[in-house]
A and B are shown apart, each in its own frame.
Chain A
Amino acid sequence: MAPVRASKRGMALAVLAAVFAAAGCTTAFEQQLAEAELLRVEAAAAGAEWLQTGALLEQARDEAAGGDMDAARALVDKARFQGEAALRQAEHEASAWQNRVVQ
């Protein structure tokens, strides 16, 4: 499984690069958005993405496009928190699941 994980991570970095390139990486918001997106992709690669992270980022983009940067940033923060939490969860579960196996 390890090679698969690694290639997914590689893909994640490629996606991030693409996001930065597309965004031109000019504003702080765009960078925050890209980071939150990377966390989401990493969590997905670990098979641990939460249900609404993608939608939060989508909404954040919409709010930013509509000019409401406060709302956009709040949504990015939420998505970022979810991405981090999902990754922590996956890390913890890498061994913790074994304690639940019916003996």
Chain B
Amino acid sequence: MKNSAAMLLLSLVPMLTQQAAVAGPEDDREAFVEYFQSRFPDVAFAEFANGIYAIDEDARGQWLDIEEFPPYEFAVEQGETLWQEALPDGARLADCFGQSTGDIRPAYPRFDAGRGEVVTLAVAINDCRQTQKLPVWPYDSEELISITAYLAYAARGKPVVTQIHADEPGALAAYEEGKRFYYSKRGQLNFACSDCHVTSVGLHVRADRLSPSLGHTTHFPVYRSKLGTVISLHQRFSGCVRDVRAKPFALQSEEFRNLEYFLSYMSNGLEFNGPGARK
């Protein structure tokens, strides 16, 4: 009897360790969501997809006014044109992706076991360009960003479902790297992402209110009124890193892709609502 119980326990061990590999991120996510919900008890979970406008009433009114006719619609239109465009050999960008248009955005970022790294939507689009023997687009190019705007628009209302598979240790490692990045202080101002967007969330930095990290990835790319253009999530990362006076990493660098992976996982269960409009 004792023996078989021990055997049973032993046989459970691999299962338990395997579960632990995914339980980590899931525990992190639950704690993350709980934290923001307790900080803002009047804000419904789904509202966090709206970023700062979930918690700032006056700014929300102005945002809704912009959303009456948001300038990113030009980018969505341009993105759709590029997406549909037949290339010299008759192929289309869409041919690289198996899913229907609305399912493409939610499939990224994902961990590619074969490559051993996180693949984001922007990277996947450029990979496609390469298989079609076309020059890749720079990651800050209007073309690439407008395509992501179109795919974000097509995915509106779909849930964020970032996956970390238990049988891919690399996925968990990438997630952990993103998490470490998020919580590490950097730069001359000695700030971690979390210092502003967790600990001090909702407070003012000069005239800006700090947005909650829960939902940070759902609405990109965003039209920035200040710039008059649509920018990518990685351009925003770059801006934040620069704001704390650290040298930014390259767009789509491993550091930023891992950070995107971590932040996307934290936003699981929210709805995609990009492209967004921000001041």
Contacts and interface: CB of A to CB of B under 8 A. Distances in A.
Q: Do A and B bind each other?
A: yes
- A contact patch SS: helix
Interface residues of B, number: 27
| Chain A interface category by residue count | 20 to 34
Nearest to A55: B247
Contacts of A51: 187-188, 242, 245-248
A96 B185 contact: yes
Interface in A85-103: 85, 89, 92-93, 96-98, 100-103
Nearest to B192: A100
A47 B181 CA distance: 9
A50 B245 contact: yes
A47 B194 CA distance: 17
Interface in B176-209: 177, 179-181, 183-188, 190, 192, 194-195, 198-199
Contacts of B35: 102
23 contacts: A1-B177, A48-B186, A48-B246, A49-B246, A50-B187, A51-B187, A51-B245, A51-B246, A51-B247, A53-B247, A82-B188, A89-B185, A92-B185, A93-B186, A96-B184, A97-B184, A97-B185, A100-B194, A100-B199, A101-B179, A102-B32, A102-B194, A102-B198
